[in-house]
Amino acid sequence: MYFLRVILFSTLLFGQKMNWQSVLETEYKRITDSYQLETAFVIGLVDHGKLVYSTGFGPIAIGSDKIIDKETPIYIASSTKTFTATLLRLLQEEGRLSLTDPLSKRLPEFKPLDQSIHPDQISIRQLLTHTHGIANNIAQWESALLGYDGGNKHLLNLLNKYSSAMDSKDFRYSNLGPVMAGIIYENNTRENWQDGMMRQIFGPLRLKKTSAKISDYNQDEIAQSIYVNSNGQAWSTFKKTNEIMSAAGGIMSTVSDLSHWLAVFMNEGKLAGKQVIPKQVIHDVLFDTVPQNRSYLTYKRYAYSLGWDHAINNGERTLTRFGGFGGTSMHISFIPERKLGVIAFSNADRNPSLPHVMANLLYNLVLEKADWKAHLKEDEQSIKTGIDRMMQNRQETKALAISESQQKQYLGRYKNDSGWPDV
């Protein structure tokens, strides 16, 4: 029966190949032309753990002759969080710790000056589910954007000096929890979290072009961020370094590799019939949830597990983990009941919603949703809104610009006493 169902579904995918593929690609070109989006874009469809379709459009960087495809290294940003949560849950499987352990036990160096933060009442699980109730913008910015010297010692100093208690421990998404979880991993294994990822996840899942170290790649092979200024001039760059590849957003991968990642979640930890991650680990990462009530585009989010948002989208229960940084936008999602998933990526700062819009369209076309045009029209509005907002921000920034002669008056080194690094 299963084999018959796979045959029937394959007929849906490949028997009508020219139909839905043609529609998808035509709509993509229409949208990017209409909104003048200069971007590299790649998308892949995963069915029962197999990458059955992928296509890419556009060069990986301005002036490059390399067209993005399923093997192009891409920055997955906050999609890293599912990897980090899985890594910590694997550590529990080894008996090295429990996700219910308090920070006072697994991160004893965390002794915040704010006495209303109680490390003995905050668990590792709460770090991974964004229910820890701690705020610290400086630690988040330095680990994700600015970089820092001194490793975990410096980061712990920031955590101790500048953390503050939120008014509750309700779900509040941020980078802070996974960053702290990365420190806990290193404290309890004596290896850095990047090497742990390679040993525990990237290797067993045969993620051949996936790494948490940007130094493992040549700059001319990765999809860079594409920016367009207020005068319409485009340029590309990639601003990540090893120092700001954090456990909250620090992995490079490919569509091909990420199809393996989705496969193990679709198939209870199995890849090509082999158990590569324990079934119970996968179950806990997916279903150890906390409630949330938020919307993103057409996704009505109702829960968050260890790294995955749970949402309803066009009548389908869909698990998602999105990410974005400096122009790049990442979409990873799957529908558990159908074992169907989509991976999509773009690198244009003009609109981060493009991968999500195209992923929705791909789902709706493959599942033969009769209302796909109406949903596309609704999704497309988010692209227009995003571009309008960005252009307004740029005009406001341009209005604040000062002349070159005036700029010279402000050249120098700026210090502050609030914990932020010198500028």
What amino acid is encoded at 272 in this protein? A
pLDDT range class, residue 404, cuts 50, 70, 90: low
Q: What is the pLDDT of residue 390?
A: 72
- Across the range 348-375, mean pLDDT stands at 92
- Decide: helix, strand or coil at residue 370: coil
Rounded-to-integer distance, Cα 177 and Cα 124, Å: 8
Residue 15 pLDDT > 70: no
In a domain, 422, yes or no: yes
Max Cα–Cα distance, the chain, nearest Å: 76
- For residue 150, give the 3-state DSSP assignment: coil
Average pLDDT taken over every residue of the chain: 90
Task: Judge residue 409's burial from the number of C-beta atoms within 10 Å of its C-beta, 0-12 exposed, 13-18 middle, 19 or more buried.
Answer: exposed
Top-confidence residue, 162 or 401 = 162
* Run of H or E residues at 242: none
Question: In this model, does residue 293 exceed pLDDT 90?
Answer: yes
Is the predicted pLDDT of residue 16 greater than 50, yes or no? no
Could you give the percent of the chain with pLDDT greater than 70? 89
Confidence of residue 234 (pLDDT cuts 50, 70, 90): confident
Mean pLDDT, range 404-408, rounded to an integer = 70
Domain-located, residue 257? yes
pLDDT (0 to 100) of residue 18: 40
Q: What pLDDT digit, counting tens, does each position of 310-347 carry?
A: 999 999 999 999 999 888 999 999 999 999 999 999 99
Q: Which single residue is written with the structure tokens 């990410």?
A: 323
Return phi, psi of residue 271, to 5°.
-130, 120
pLDDT (tens digit per residue) in 42-88:
999 999 999 999 999 999 999 999 999 999 999 999 999 999 999 99
Nearest of 109, 163, 173, 166 to residue 136 by alpha carbon: 163
Q: The domain spanning residue 200 has which CATH number?
A: 3.40.710.10
Residue type at 141 in one-letter notation: W
In a domain, 49, yes or no: yes
Within 10 A of 210 (CB to CB), how many other CB atoms are there? 25
pLDDT for residue 420 is more than 70: no
- Residue 12 included in any domain: no
Task: Report if residue 412 sits inside a domain.
Answer: yes
Distance CA 178, CA 312 (A): 25
What is the domain count for the chain? Answer: 1
- 126 vs 16: CA distance, rounded Å: 46
Whether the per-residue pLDDT at 362 is higher than 50: the answer is yes
Q: Provide the token pair at 312.
A: 């309803």
Strands 74-75 and 50-57: unpaired
d(CA 302, CA 280) in angstroms, rounded, equals 23
Strand, coil or helix: 207: coil
Name the one residue in this structure whose structure tokens are 């593929």: 21
- The pLDDT value given to residue 419: 65
Poorest-pLDDT segment among 9-18, 31-40, 219-228: 9-18
Domain-located, residue 2: no
Other Cβ atoms within 10 Å of 317 Cβ, number: 13
In a domain, 13, yes or no: no
State how far Cα 338 lies from the chain centre.
23
8 inside domain: no
Per-position DSSP letters for 327-379, written without gaps between them: TEEEEEEEETTTTEEEEEEE-BTT-TTHHHHHHHHHHHHHTT-TTHHHHHHHH
Which residues span the domain enclosing 115? 19-423
In the structure, what pLDDT confidence band is assigned to residue 384 with cuts at 50, 70 and 90? confident
In the predicted model, is pLDDT for residue 405 greater than 90?
Answer: no
